[in-house]
Amino acid sequence: MCVAVIFTILFFKSNSNKENINIGFISGLSGKYSSLGNSVLSGFKLAFEEIDYKIDNKSINIITKDDGQNRIKAREAITQLLDKNIKIIVGNTTSSMTKVSINEVKDKDDVLLISATASSQEFAYKDDNFLRTQVSINTQKILKLANYLIHMKKDRMSIYFDSKNSSYVKGVIRNIQNSYEKKQAQIVSLLDISSGFKNILNDVKQNNPNVIFIIANALDTAKLAQYLRLNNIDSQLASAAWAKELKLITEGGKAVEGMLFSTGYDDNSNDKSYKNFIKNYESLYGHVPSVFAAQAYETAKILIEALKNNSSAKDIKKYILSKKSFKGLQGKIVFDKYGDVKRDYFIVTIKNGKYKKIEL
């Protein structure tokens, strides 16, 4: 009888494990970077809400970790997930934190890391166990915005950036410099926002740029824009896609009106899939989703499709890269052999408190 009881317990425990798929999720869920992290988490979870966290007879468990935009916390987060034998991990939301996770999983062939938002060029053209649904920063994306700015005779640019996300920032700056140099325009100054807004103001007055490009999160971008406008700086404002959240508009108000971005998402798209996503997201969370929530939702949908085929991390990667093309919320998402994707870009501005696509 004792043997029978032990066998029964082991049998049910074994089958219970088979009925669960554990997915790790790491992002900045606290601090000033948390709006991005929580937005990505909300979009990601929505896709699983729609299938009641089940695939066939298997239950989906999402185990979340907060990296706090801190390298030590990020390393602890990924290590904790790996110690729990979690093989499928979604994260991180910024490129610098993603770099930490990639370094921790690079020698683990049975682990797959997927990011919905990390866009550093450092991760491109590598055959590894990392995939992403965010496009790598590239000259084409920045060049479109640069061409538009120069067409508007905005040919003297100052760049103010947040070095805490250095993997992302370096790529953006490099591509801006290349794009402006091709058009014989000038980058007149570069300054880390950690030097303080007063120093940035002095830099603007000294170098007299006619366009100011900010590479920072939504909150810092909004605050810097307000500070500059309050001090009568009327230069054209442009920003990296990192800041393109609803929070930028709610916090920045009139100061961010007219700010320019290069992006792969149209907030006013009439695509049926995108409109359904907006409706379901607002119904669940009570507010409008960001572009990052949309990308996270797409990432989850791709992952769900792959999981229906096989729950092994290796096989998920193989399935995604062999299929290559997936339906996104606004057109197709196409993976190359390295796990990077391509999207079309366009210019967006903020008009009357809303993101609006500019028809060129």
The tens digit of pLDDT for each residue in 156-202 reads: 999 999 999 999 999 999 999 988 888 889 999 999 999 999 999 99
What beta strand segments (E) does the chain contain?
20-27, 54-55, 58-66, 88-90, 112-115, 130-132, 156-161, 186-192, 211-215, 236-239, 260-263, 325-328, 331-335, 341-342, 346-351, 354-357
Q: Residue 17's pLDDT is what? A: 46
Pick the CATH number of 139-263 from 3.40.50.10240, 3.40.50.300, 3.40.50.2300, 3.20.20.70: 3.40.50.2300
pLDDT digits (tens, 9 = 90+) for 122-143: 999 999 999 999 998 877 778 8
Q: Are 214 and 225 in contact (CB under 8 A)?
A: yes
Topology at the third CATH level for domain 2-135+272-342: Rossmann fold (3.40.50)
Under the banding of pLDDT at 50, 70 and 90, the label for residue 2 is low
Cα gap 190→275, rounded to integer Å: 39
Q: Are 236 and 152 in contact (CB under 8 A)?
A: yes
* % of the chain surpassing 90 pLDDT: 83
Q: Is the pLDDT of residue 9 over 60?
A: no
pLDDT digits (tens, 9 = 90+) for 208-234: 999 999 999 999 999 999 999 999 999
Cα gap 75→103, rounded to integer Å: 9
Delimit the CATH 3.40.50.2300 region(s) of the chain.
2-135+272-342, 139-263
Q: Are 116 and 150 in contact (CB under 8 A)?
A: no
Per the model's pLDDT, the better-predicted residue between 26 and 11 turns out to be: 26
Q: Is the pLDDT of residue 3 over 80?
A: no
Cα gap 100→218, rounded to integer Å: 23
Cα gap 182→174, rounded to integer Å: 12
Q: What is the dihedral of CA 261, 182, 336, 88, to 10 degrees?
A: -50
Under the banding of pLDDT at 50, 70 and 90, the label for residue 5 is very low
Q: What is the pTM of this model?
A: 0.88
Under the banding of pLDDT at 50, 70 and 90, the label for residue 18 is low
7-40 in b/e form (b: 16+ CB < 10 A) is eeeeeeeeeeeeeebbbbbbbbbeebbbbbbbbb
